[in-house]
């Protein structure tokens, strides 16, 4: 997948407690001042997307950053392509500017990472879903809130034409390795899996595509936005899986959350209605 990966120094690989072991990955990244462009994006109002989570995943040799969504006091949902093979994750909740320590932020390390058992079994992106269990239940407040999940009645919903929002701190250039200080978002719509551009990767049943254009503007998630939620009317209907090099007018590919409601219920404390 097109998640940005950064090699960590040997110093960061010692086996002390997580807080002592690692300097947050974002300190090693190229920092870029916000532009008006996720691709074609808008800078969000501070803390206006309270379910948004910033995740820094670590293996023994490298780290990568992704997005996620809070779905309960104990669980964050993201994509398996971010979480697979990792040993721990630094979870940042309540963030707007991730390059400063805001008083609203909660930063915790977790080693309880649950990747779908059949991730990539049929295709490289099939069953691209994962959960992170927080080490301690988070208390909700004005800037930290969960996002709703689809209901069981939505299992067969196609969503074609539905407009939703995806947010993140990721790059606006598929060939540049940087993240943005401030949270940004785009609005875009779900397109048919039969769409010519969507069919390039033959998305499986548990995935849908979003348009790379909205209101005559090129839009889309990009590097570092993988794992972020695609939310419509307050409901998490998709999780960004991968993006076609963030090219103008190409679709974003998202895990279809309604296809995995049983898996979420079996692996978390969320009660699916």
Angstrom distances, CA of residue 183 to CA of 149, 176, 232: 22, 18, 18
Q: Which domains does the chain have, with CATH numbers?
A: 5-27+50-146+262-267 (2.40.10.10), 152-258 (2.40.10.10)
What is the per-residue pLDDT for 173? 58
pLDDT tens-digit readout, 173-229: 555 557 888 999 999 999 998 888 788 777 778 999 998 877 777 788 888 899 999
User: What pLDDT band is residue 127 in, cutting at 50, 70 and 90?
Assistant: very high
Alpha helices in 55-138 (DSSP H): 80-83
Written as one string, the DSSP assignment of 54-74 is EEEEE-SSEEEEEEEEE-SSS
**Tokens representing residue 54 in the block:** 């910033």
Who's near 266: CB < 8 A, 6+ residues apart?
none
What is the per-residue pLDDT for 41? 81
Flag whether pLDDT at 19 surpasses 90: no
Flag whether pLDDT at 14 surpasses 50: no
For CA atoms 100, 63, 13, 76, give the dihedral sign: positive
pTM: 0.86
**Tokens representing residue 153 in the block:** 């009645």
């Amino acid at each position: 997948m097109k998640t940005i990966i950064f090699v960590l120094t040997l110093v960061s690989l010692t086996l002390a407690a997580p807080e002592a072991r690692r300097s947050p990955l974002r300190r090693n990244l190229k920092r870029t001042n916000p532009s008006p462009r996720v691709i074609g994006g808008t800078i969000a109002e501070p803390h206006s997307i309270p379910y948004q989570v910033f995740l820094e995943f670590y293996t023994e040799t490298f780290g990568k950053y992704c997005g996620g969504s809070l779905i309960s006091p104990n669980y964050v949902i993201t994509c398996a392509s971010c979480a697979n093979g990792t040993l721990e994750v630094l979870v940042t909740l309540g963030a707007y500017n991730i390059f400063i320590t805001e008083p609203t932020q909660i930063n915790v390390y977790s080693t309880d990472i649950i990747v779908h058992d059949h991730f990539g079994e049929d295709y490289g992106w099939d069953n691209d879903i994962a959960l992170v269990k927080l080490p301690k239940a988070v208390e909700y407040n004005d800037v930290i809130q969960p996002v709703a999940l689809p209901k069981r009645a939505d299992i067969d919903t196609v969503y074609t034409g539905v407009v939703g929002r995806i947010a993140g701190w990721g790059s606006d250039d598929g060939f540049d390795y940087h993240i943005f200080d401030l949270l940004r978002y785009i609005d875009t719509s779900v397109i048919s899996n039969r769409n010519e551009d969507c069919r390039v990767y033959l998305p499986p049943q548990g995935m849908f595509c979003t348009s790379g254009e909205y209101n005559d503007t090129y839009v889309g998630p990009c590097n570092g936005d993988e794992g972020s939620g695609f939310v419509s009317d307050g409901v998490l209907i998709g999780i960004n899986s991968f993006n076609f090099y963030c090219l103008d007018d190409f679709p974003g590919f998202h895990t279809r959350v309604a296809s995995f409601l049983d898996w979420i219920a079996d692996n978390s404390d969320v009660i699916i209605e």
